[in-house]
Amino acid sequence: MTDFIYLDNAATTFMDYDVLKAMEPYNLEKYSNPSSIYSFSRENKSAMKRTRDVAAKLLGAKPKDIYFTSGGSEAINWAIKGVVYGNEAKGRHIVSTKIEHHATLHTLEFLEKQGFEVTYLDVDENGQIDLEELKKSIRPDTVLVSIMAANNEIGTILPLKKIGSICREKGTFFHTDAVQAIGAVEIDVEEMNIDFLSASAHKFHGPKGVGFLYLRSGIVIENLIHGGNQERGRRSGTENVAGIVGLGKALEIVMTDKEEKNRRLSMLRDQLTQGLLKIEGCRLNGPRGENRLPNNVNVSFSGVDGEALLMNLDLSGILASSGSACTSGAIDESHVLEAIGVEKEYIRGSLRFTLSKYNMEDEIEKTLRTVEEIVKRQRKIGR
């Protein structure tokens, strides 16, 4: 399929050919505006309904509670801003964690500038919150708890059912960023007392630029985008029908192959993890076993620069990501690795590998050989 090894699937995924095929008619023949009243638009409306039905079935939700968005970031922004602005009479306090995706953290920072108060929960070395601390942090004026379903950097799977139960008992709304969790974690919004859930198609082999927000019926929420009357008056803008069809097809595939896919990914993940840990000065960041996403490996090397390691891997045809980002010559260290207590020396030498169903065992073996060679070479140069 490619002449490189792609191991950055938490960033984005290859679109399934069946998804592309399903979308094609809606880019060419069936191009009408679904909000129009003529018969040409009926198929587009029906196609959107089919995707709504599939998303609802996957989550144990009602189809009417699924709203299409431009992706995960919009869904997260809408859920958080919408619920706090729509329920200010209850209070202006929000609870979240220190390891959330920047789509959540930057939204919360924006709200703090508007006078809202945010409590950021600490996490342990595995990225797990203390449920007793969560209980104590929820106050009478807490309007929302926003905690991700699974962490994008270290793969931690959070206990949604327990969190949802606490929120329901305390009478506060619960939003979860499930962008990394769809297809990897079993989610039932009713059983888990989830009020809002955000998702993005390109994280599970669907198209970019489309996602959805699950929004429990009966909750007052402000709109994020104003204009027309699309999405039952909740989200304005002409719908991305082709993208929504692609989202639906990707979800259908997720529902069909998730058990076998996750079993195989867990095997490859463990193979890669065990091999990397044999390299001197390597440590695993985050949990082991079933509390970790089946495709996530995050490691750090002592005495190695992660950016240099990443670039050398790229030169060798292996695409991964770093736990630190280089911006204008400055290292922006991972807030997640800091939160779980990783030492600075190791943070600077961190790498994240995220697998997909398209990765093969021989790719893992080549990656292990290449990483070991580059680490040894960098350490020799650094002496």
Query: Six-digit token pair at 191?
Result: 């059983």
Q: Is beta strand 211-215 parallel, antiparallel or unpaired with respect to 196-200?
A: antiparallel
Which backbone phi and psi does 173 adopt, to 5 degrees?
A: -75, 150
- Measure Cα distances from 50 to 36, 46, 176, 235, 274 in Å: 18, 6, 24, 19, 42
Q: How far apart, in whole angstroms, are the C-alpha atoms of residue 94 and residue 82?
A: 13
Contacts of 222-225 with C-beta under 8 Å, sequence gap 24+, read 222/81, 222/82, 222/85, 222/86, 223/78, 223/82, 224/74, 224/77, 224/78, 224/81, 224/82, 225/74, 225/78
Q: Which of 11, 219, 225, 326 is catalytic?
A: 326
Within the chain, what is the greatest distance between any pair of CA atoms?
Answer: 73
**Length of the chain (residues):** 383
CA pair distance 53, 251, nearest whole angstrom:
10
Would you call 282 a catalytic residue per the annotation?
Answer: no
Residues annotated catalytic, as ranges: 326
